[in-house]
Amino acid sequence: MAYKDLREFMEVLESRGLLKRVKTEVDPELEITEIVDRISKGPAEKNVAILFENVKGSKMPVLINAFGSYERMSLAMGVEKLDDIADELREMLKLPYVSLQNKMSVVTMIPMIKRAVNFPKYVKSAPCQEVVETENPNLDEIPILKCWPEDGGPFVTLPLVFTKNPKTGKRNVGMYRLQKYDSRTTGMHWHIHKNGAENYRDMEAAGGEKIECAVAIGTDPVLTYAATAPLPRDIDEMVFAGFLRHKSVEMVKCKTVDIEVPATAEIILEGYVLPHESRIEGPFGDHTGYYSLADEYPVFHITAITHRENPIYFATVVGRPPMEDAYLAKATERIFLPLLQQMLPEVKDINMPIEGVFHDCCIVSIKKQFPMHARKVMHALWGMGQMMNVKMIIVVDDHVDVQDYAQVAWRVFNNIDADHDLEIVHGPLDVLDHSSPMAKWGAKLGIDATKTWPEEGHAREWPEEVATPDDIKARVDAKWKELGLD
């Protein structure tokens, strides 16, 4: 299903008992974080989305933890489970071979293409512009959270940042945190590896006066997810969102900048970033569970704030996992697996553990077909987009369930020879990685936990795994109830 806006998603959550309203006054400085941290790390049955209706210093309610479980993440995407999206994508990728002998292929492709491509639809008026403030836009009216004690200030944590590349005019939508400096300016946390930063550098290189930006807060949940997805630069996130929701995204032009934004967003910030202007941004308590360090980042100047009548401020808290952002990352793991398998068909499954905060560890199972095949997969993964930041890759054979940590640990602990099965390489690392002696790059570890072949230098006989035959398992299954052991 496609939600028309964030509010419809909230209605679904509330109807299922997955959203709680809190009427007690709460402070956006540190207090909301402590509440959400307890909920995120507490019993599963207590882990719900929360709407804080009485936030100190603001008339706006705060919605938080809306994506904070597999169930809510699946509901956000309009599916029963996240793998349903991957299964649909697999079907889309099975495009029939077109030839003179297979004339029906073109006809078969038409409905697939219609499902895959839902271009944005542009409208002239929109809910996100029910209230327009261009004379005195004021961030102080928004209950922006200060999450952790050493944070450099309050941060907008679920912003969809829209820019256009000055050379191509192509749209980029990314999720880059915004530190509030005052009522009219914020930081713009463009990591060096991100497409938003590339657009900014292109503007500087071309001698541009500024790069226009718009920030959408509180969108249909699929749009919010799409801003986090690791898409290639030339793939429009709003077209990708249209594919995921099976319906075009309605967009409206901003009031003071030449950018279109989601029509049903709760709040829009409009403005610009100047070339060669920077300011200290951070520290920020990040999803690694540590503070990312303060550094120089561009400055976002706000020219207008538009919003719906009685807007809802949509936010998240990041910190030591598990937190809400882990489930956004897990959605990416499942959705993008079929695309990874298109390039590496030997891959059966992947698991990027929540504890590895997505960019620190990747476990992958492969159908091993030749000597050093695991090494080939490691290096291929390190060469794919944001996978370049993965610090540790563990490769196991295809019969190993990578979602079962105990299975993986058993293979790693028992199968590796430290002299032959560990591979250390150097390359880019996530900006948030604090463990490397150098910022933004360092060493990565590949662990080959597959069965070692004689051709890989293992002259000894490799033992068989201990296992019960299937016929014995079936006989025990048949008499299990009468054994009275349940």
Structure tokens at 93: 């990728």
- State the DSSP H helix or E strand holding residue 441, giving kind and residue range, or none if neither: strand 441-448
What is the CB neighbour count within 10 angstroms for residue 474? 9
Q: Are 421 and 448 in contact (CB under 8 A)?
A: yes
Among residues 199, 302, 200, 307, the alpha carbon closest in space to that of 256 is found at 302
- Strand partners of residue 347: 366
Q: Are 259 and 206 in contact (CB under 8 A)?
A: no
Q: Which amino acid is at 476?
A: V
Q: Taking each helix axis as running N to C, give the angle between helix 6-15 and helix 70-77, from 0 to 180 degrees, rounded to the nearest 10.
A: 130
Q: Are 291 and 244 in contact (CB under 8 A)?
A: no
- Strand partners of residue 185: 301
Burial of 371 (0-12, 13-18, 19+ CB in 10 A): middle
Structure tokens at 472: 């014995």
- Exposed e or buried b per residue across 451-465, where buried means at least 16 C-beta atoms within 10 angstroms of its C-beta: ebeeebeeeeeeeee
My answer on whether omega of the bond before 322 falls inside 30° of 0, hence cis, is yes
Calculated CA dihedral for residues 254, 119, 199, 218, nearest 10 degrees: 50
The rounded distance, in Å, linking the Cα atoms of 237 and 486 is 50
Q: Is 254 helix (H, G, I), strand (E, B) or coil?
A: coil
What's the Cα-to-Cα distance from 160 to each of 172, 175, 177, 273, rounded to whole Å?
Answer: 10, 5, 9, 15
- State the DSSP H helix or E strand holding residue 52, giving kind and residue range, or none if neither: strand 49-52
Active site residue 325: no
Structure tokens at 339: 């695309």
The rounded distance, in Å, linking the Cα atoms of 31 and 50 is 14
Choice among 286, 325, 349, 360 that is catalytic: 286
Q: Which residue has the tokens 């295809």?
A: 398
Give the catalytic positions in this structure. 286
